[in-house]
Structure 1
């Protein structure tokens, strides 16, 4: 299959392929998604095949208006409506109980719930409207690999496997949306992202559960990233805490192989980097680090001589929680030990 690259002015051509049951990757403000018509079960099943994704891992449904959610979900609570007003379009995904029979089990992983998102990307909103149906949109990458933040990342993983990619340039946020479970009595964050628990609580006046866990081997996850290893390059990632940098680089200098280094600029300027270590800038702070995280992991994944990657850790405050959630998954929760 030839994978076409659509400009953001070629929405109708991309929509035509989606209407025909093909897969087309699309941009959002967070990462690129792998799109299929959410109401076409055959097309949705192709998403799992293209990604190599386990079929019990449910897919996020992307919409271009709140009315679509109201048609598919059980009646929305006042809290849900407040969150939609505050954060949609934007980087918040919400899980709702569904009306019977509205979505295929291929979308929901067999559950009676589904995750919905209204992305803050004009190109993709126009695409959804042109298709006339909501789109499923898991990250447009090979399952388990770092999520794509450019059309080139998508092509690297899925060229020849999907019909097309809508290229809208690099994404703005760089880590996937916050996933908030609104199908239970107490809202719970199942995946942290740019929208924080404190921001959600300020809108709904209710405490949000934030204990993020992996589900058991026989359980079906409600959201992506709860069961399977994610975001992992071929090299081993080692997370480095604040006080361990001198020891980490001393250890790196003794290694007989090339290593990667993902680090903020200020910290880099305070250190002496060994010759066998290639540095990748995470920018100035945790916000820019979140934006560059997946690109950095992919950068070193393309360099086959890199065997280990030292990556800067941050506190779990604000977006740092989302950054560390992704980094720990990419590292298999492995830290450098001085």
Structure 2
């Protein structure tokens, strides 16, 4: 398969003038799959109402089909087409955080979406992305679009179109290049089918932000206990992993440098994930500075690019600093722990 590639300037005023987006929308309506940018990561889109399209998503990613997919929409009014009931809590969250990096789990009308999209569940995760290219593309299709991250299953999520091309060129119909994404980690997933909302996956909207508008919000026990079965899309299997083994280090800079030197003496090429505040301390073979510890949003926006860079550098082992489990740091640590297979050195 030849993968088409369209470059679209997300800063232009009239995106509807771009025939590239019209061509991409036509392919989506024909049940092909197309990658496109959102404010979080690049998504791999397909018609959420079509078994054929959703099967193509799973095939391109090499992803197990027992994982439900998040559905993307351009307008809140679309919800009534396939959602049974919208609780007041969900309405409040939509009012405050849509469009934006928040996925809301709701019960859906049976028969309105492909069962392959929902993995046979009677609930569905829905979000409205805060990206002009994504919203324009979704509006042109007139469809609910299922879209997991546009990478091969298990690999770091793509925050640039080039990342998508590295993973999926020749496996999908097209890639819409709208430039680098902003948030850098996937959307927060909140289950609103329960009396008290539950965060199933931390992401671009923090627990603190959610609680500021709806009160108490719980965390899925699976986020802390590996023995619990996660309920969120994309959380059941090892994800975000670079080729080399990754270890999180809960220790001082001196202890991390000692680990680096030990591995180098064994002849290994060592990569280190650090921040601007600490970058001058480490003597590693490959150093990636992923933003500022004092501004965790900058770390989140570059964490996946960092993990991919270690693949290109062909390091043998990676050590990463850890981050506070507050605010967006919760999402950063969730992704790093998944990428490391929960390997941590204390």
TM-score by length of 1: 0.94
Contact 1:97 1:112 in 2 (8 A): yes
The partner residue of 2:97 within 87, 90, 100 is: 87
1:259 aligns with 2:267: no
- In structure 2, the gaps of 5 or more residues are 9-17
Please name the residue that 1:248 is paired with.
256
**Alpha-carbon shift at residue 245 of structure 1 (Å):** 2.2
Deviation digits for residues 170-216 of structure 1 (CA, Å, limit 9, x no counterpart): 000000000000112221000001211221122123x1111341699
Aligned to 2:173: 163
Q: Secondary structure at the match of 1:268?
A: coil
Superposed, 1:1-338 pairs within 5 Å as: 1-8=1-8, 9=18, 10-205=20-215, 207-213=216-222, 222-241=231-250, 243-255=251-263, 256-269=267-280, 271-274=281-284, 277-285=285-293, 286-304=296-314, 306-337=315-346
2:13 counterpart residue number = none
Shift of 1:300: 0.7
The whole-number CA distance in structure 1 between the counterparts of 2:152 and 2:228 is 23
SS of the aligned residue for 1:254 comes to: helix
**Structure 1 residue runs of 4+, over 3 Å off?**
214-219
Distance in 2 (alpha carbons) for counterparts of 1:13 and 1:296: 32
Matched residue count = 330
Tell me, yes or no, if the aligned pair for 1:62 and 1:119 is still in contact at 8 Å.
yes
Instruction: Give 3-state SS (helix, strand or coil) of 1:260's partner.
Output: strand
Change in 2 beyond 3 A, CA 1:45/1:218: farther
The match for 2:15 is: none
Deviations 1:132-154 (Å, cap 9, x if unpaired)? 10111000000111000000000
Is this contact kept in 1: 2:249–2:320, CA < 8 A?
A: yes
**1:73-124 C-alpha deviation (Å, 9 max, x unpaired):** 1121111111111000000000001112111110001100000010000111
Alignment partners' CA distance in 1, 2:289 and 2:194: 40
Deviations 1:202-261 (A, max 9, x none): 2123x1111341699996x542233111101110111122x3321221221232111111
Paired residue secondary structure (2:125)? strand
Q: Residues 222, 251 of structure 1: CA spacing in aligned structure 2 closer, same or farther, 3 A cutoff?
A: closer
> Structure 1 stretches of 5 or more lacking a match?
none
Deviations 1:4-60 (A, max 9, x none): 111223210111111111110010000000010111221111111110111010000
**Greater mean deviation of Cα atoms: 105-114 or 95-104:** 95-104
- Is the 2:286–2:310 contact (alpha carbons within 8 Å) kept by the matching residues of 1? no
